[in-house]
Amino acid sequence: MKRIERAPPLARVVFLALATLLLAPPLARAQGLVAQRFLDAGVPAVTRRWNGQDYIQAAKVFASGKAGLPRASDADGEAVLARMTSADNFAYDRDETLPLRLRMPDFMDLSQGSNDIFKQYLRAAAAAHPEDWAPELSRMMVFALREGAQLVELVDEFLPQMPHDSTYATRLQGLQHVRQGATSIFNGAEITLTEPNGFTHAQRLAVLSAMAETLPRIKEALPAEYRVELRRRLDADRASFPEPAGRALIDDLQRELAP
**Average pLDDT value for the chain:** 86
* Inside any domain, residue 132: yes
- pLDDT for 256 beyond 80: yes
Q: Judge whether 97 lies within some domain.
A: yes
* pLDDT band for position 160 (cuts 50, 70, 90): confident
8-30 pLDDT, tens digit each: 444 443 333 333 333 333 333 33
CA atoms within 13 A on the CB side of 26: 0
Q: How confident is the model at residue 124 (pLDDT cuts 50, 70, 90)?
A: very high
pTM for the model:
0.83
Of all helices (H) and strands (E), which one includes residue 84?
A: helix 75-84
Closest CA to 75 of 31, 129, 19: 31
Task: Say how many domains are in the chain.
Answer: 1
Query: Is residue 29 situated within a structural domain?
Result: no
The percentage of residues in the chain with a pLDDT greater than 70, rounded to a whole number, is 85
DSSP 8-state secondary structure symbol assigned to residue 51: -
Tell me, yes or no, whether 32 lies in a domain.
no
Instruction: Please indicate, yes or no, if residue 56 is contained in any of the structural domains.
Output: yes
What share of the chain has pLDDT > 90, as a percent? 72
**Does residue 37 sit within a domain?**
no
Residue 239 belongs to domain spanning:
42-83+90-257
* Whole-number Å distance between alpha carbons of 215 and 220: 9
Cβ atoms of 75 and 31 within 8 Å: the answer is: no
Q: Is residue 74 part of a domain?
A: yes
Q: Is residue 242 part of a domain?
A: yes
Q: What is the reported pLDDT for 130?
A: 83
